[in-house]
Amino acid sequence: MAARTDINFRIIINFIGILLMLTSGFMALSALWEIVYPEGVFKAILISALITFGTGLTFFQFTRNYDQKNIGKKEGYIIVTFTWLSITLFGTLPFYLSGEIPSFTNAFFETMSGFTTTGATILTDIESMPKALLFWRSTTHWLGGMGIIVLTLAILPILGVGGMELFVAEAPGTTPLRLHPRMTETAKRLWFIYVLLSFVLMFLLMLGNMNFFEAINHAFSTMATGGFSPKNDSIASYSPYIQYTIILFMIIAGTNFTLHYFALKGNFKPIANNEEFRFYIMVIGSFTILFTIGIFVFEALDLELAFRKAAFQVVAILTTTGFATMDYTQWNEFLWFMIFLLMFTGGCIGSTSGGIKMVRHLLLIKNTHQEFRRLVHPDAVLPTRLDGKTIPKETIYNFLAFFLLYVSVFAVGASVMAFMGLGFKLSLASVAATIGNVGPSLGTLGPMDSYDIIPTAGKWMLSFFMLLGRLELFTVLILLTPSFWKK
């Protein structure tokens, strides 16, 4: 029997409807902050939630009769990409209808940055924003961190056999079957760990005298590796205890959540034997030492302060969280060049961080080493191994293709931004920070600055790069190939 190649758009519209209704619930919850901080945006948020829910309900009702078993890879890619576009489009409404971000382009950019956990902002005075909108802003991070598709799989088992297609399309490269053979159970476990860690962090931040509103916002942003803060200076004004706590949880958020599951079960052997995790910790440690020495020498800070600032910025950039405790654009040029390189790293695969991911870097190093050995011993069988297992050539080719595509998109994107008049440095910095979902970048796009200076066309371009980075390129770009749409 020939494989089914046609696309069932009823399924796609139905799922988008479900996810819009789910999003509207979180949007409505944000309006409750108006009870504590009445700042006149309750009506705008409620209307936005009703519009989102009404649209989702309409989509769902008119397409509710479909066969779940017909959910294939094509539907999975389309559902995930268009769901993220849809929730971003409707997620702009609270900002836009309230008048707090009167430009639709800016509102869309801010919301896309939220859902993709990028953390790039167009706001120039964050603390002047109503608290309810700031909470919605952080909530977009939190929903996007683990993935709204994964959340839906956890609470709506009606998705049935199509769950795997959606999971893989939204979180490419993860290893869900290591937790449970059923996708709904895997999603539940992932979200349980995510929620648990978020509220543990919130509690620890409150122990450090951070108020409840700021604690929950920072917990959402940290666990999502997003970087939105309700404070203009990010984490800079908080105590060393707060900064060290956030460093620890950024590292946790950048770790494969499968390992957290094993840790909660009391099984630490898979963690100790995981090569990617060891490489991840080694890279963090190496760059922290390098930055500590650099800051100590060039910035003349005392050793503890130099270490804390080095560790915070290294972890924030490497895990693509994007928080900051100081304006690193004022550092020595060698140090900010190292920051630029860190934007191309990323945390572990299966984490909430963006970027290229550690396992890809590790396998590239391992495979390159083996290629040198193959040149010397052409008749020898020298497979590339990870965690003691031979990695199939198809996986190596996929990772190499990802590297090539990532670099190509970065180069083309930087060229387009330069054509818009951004200049060489800002063009490279803006694309690296958005496609890597890092957020703050270099130059006048640093951690204490805003993306408001980017021209309108540039903001739409960078929004596209955020989506590309969050869905790891292939999920989005495959929709642009003519062969995808052929029967």
**What φ, ψ does residue 266 adopt, rounded to 5°?**
80, 15
Mean local confidence (pLDDT), 60-75: 72
176 confidence band (pLDDT: 50, 70, 90): very low
pLDDT recorded at residue 454: 95
Q: Which residues of 141-153 are buried (b: 16+ CB within 10 A; e: fewer)?
A: bbbbbbbbbbbbb
Ranked by mean pLDDT, the top range of 143-152, 429-438, 468-477 is: 429-438
pLDDT recorded at residue 161: 41
Q: Lowest-confidence range among 169-173, 296-300, 370-374, 408-412?
A: 169-173
pLDDT recorded at residue 11: 84
Q: For residue 163, is pLDDT > 60?
A: no
Q: Lowest-confidence range among 23-32, 54-63, 103-112, 170-179?
A: 170-179
Q: For residue 69, is pLDDT > 80?
A: no
105, 460 Cβ separation under 8 angstroms: yes
pLDDT recorded at residue 395: 83
User: Could you give the maximum distance between any two Cα atoms of the chain, in Å?
Assistant: 74
Q: Lowest-confidence range among 62-76, 151-165, 283-297, 470-484?
A: 151-165
pLDDT recorded at residue 6: 76
Mean local confidence (pLDDT), 12-27: 92
Mean local confidence (pLDDT), 314-327: 94
pLDDT recorded at residue 162: 47
Per the model's pLDDT, the better-predicted residue between 279 and 182 turns out to be: 279
pLDDT recorded at residue 460: 97
179 confidence band (pLDDT: 50, 70, 90): low
DSSP codes joined into one string, 55-91:
HHHHHHHHT----GGG--HHHHHHHHHHHHHHHHHHH
| Region class of 383: left (phi > 0), else alpha (psi between -120 and 50), else beta | beta
Residue 298: what residue type? F
| Encoded tokens for 313 | 């910025």
**What φ, ψ does residue 30 adopt, rounded to 5°?**
-60, -30
pLDDT recorded at residue 333: 86
Burial class (CB in 10 A: 0-12, 13-18, 19+), 208: middle
**C-alpha 203 chain-centroid distance:** 23
pLDDT recorded at residue 2: 41
126, 217 Cβ separation under 8 angstroms: no
pLDDT recorded at residue 8: 80
pLDDT recorded at residue 393: 86
pLDDT recorded at residue 185: 73
Mean local confidence (pLDDT), 183-201: 85
Q: Percent of the chain beyond pLDDT 70?
A: 90
Q: For residue 407, is pLDDT > 60?
A: yes
Three-state secondary-structure class, residue 263: helix
Q: For residue 332, is pLDDT > 60?
A: yes
pLDDT recorded at residue 298: 84
- The Cα–Cα gap between 11 and 20 comes to 14
The strand pair at 389-390 and 385-386 is best described as antiparallel
- Count how many residues are written for the chain: 487
334, 297 Cβ separation under 8 angstroms: no
The mean of the pLDDT values for the chain is 88
115, 144 Cβ separation under 8 angstroms: yes
Q: Which residues of 244-280 are buried (b: 16+ CB within 10 A; e: fewer)?
A: ebbbebbbbbbbbbbbbbbeeeeeeebbeebbbbebb
pLDDT recorded at residue 330: 85
Q: Percent of the chain beyond pLDDT 90?
A: 60
253 confidence band (pLDDT: 50, 70, 90): very high
| Encoded tokens for 89 | 């489009």
pLDDT recorded at residue 5: 54
The H or E element containing residue 444 is none
Mean local confidence (pLDDT), 278-290: 96
Model pTM? 0.92
Residue pLDDT, tens place only, 361-395: 999 999 888 888 888 888 778 888 888 888 888 88
156 confidence band (pLDDT: 50, 70, 90): low
E strands in 145-236: none
Q: For residue 331, is pLDDT > 90?
A: no
The H or E element containing residue 389 is strand 389-390
pLDDT recorded at residue 388: 84
Q: For residue 474, is pLDDT > 90?
A: no
Q: For residue 66, is pLDDT > 90?
A: no
